[in-house]
Amino acid sequence: MWLGFWAYFEFKIFKAFLFRKYGKEKIWVKGGKLFYWRDIAGRGKKLEFDKELIKDLELIEKKKNDFFASMNESFWVIGGESISFSYAAKNYRMGVQLPEEDARELLRRMKHELRG
pLDDT of residue 1: 79
The tens digit of pLDDT for each residue in 37-65 reads 999 888 898 999 999 999 999 998 877 78
Distance CA 7, CA 12 (A): 9
The tens digit of pLDDT for each residue in 89-103 reads 899 999 988 888 999
pLDDT of residue 47: 95
Q: Where are the domains of the chain?
A: 2-115
Closest CA relative to residue 32, chosen from 15, 13, 18, 53 = 53
pLDDT of residue 72: 73
Phi first, then psi: give them for residue 42, nearest 5 degrees: 85, 0
- Whether 80 contacts 53, CB under 8 Å: no
Tell me the average pLDDT of the chain.
Answer: 89
Distance CA 3, CA 110 (A): 44
Distance CA 88, CA 23 (A): 27
pLDDT of residue 5: 87
The tens digit of pLDDT for each residue in 8-35 reads 989 988 998 999 899 999 999 999 899 9
The tens digit of pLDDT for each residue in 62-72 reads 777 877 777 77
The contacts of residue 63 (CB under 8 Å, 6+ apart) are 69
Angle at the Cα of 88 (from 82 to 91), degrees rounded to 5? 25
For the domain 2-115, what is the CATH code? 2.30.29
Q: How confident is the model at residue 116 (pLDDT cuts 50, 70, 90)?
A: low
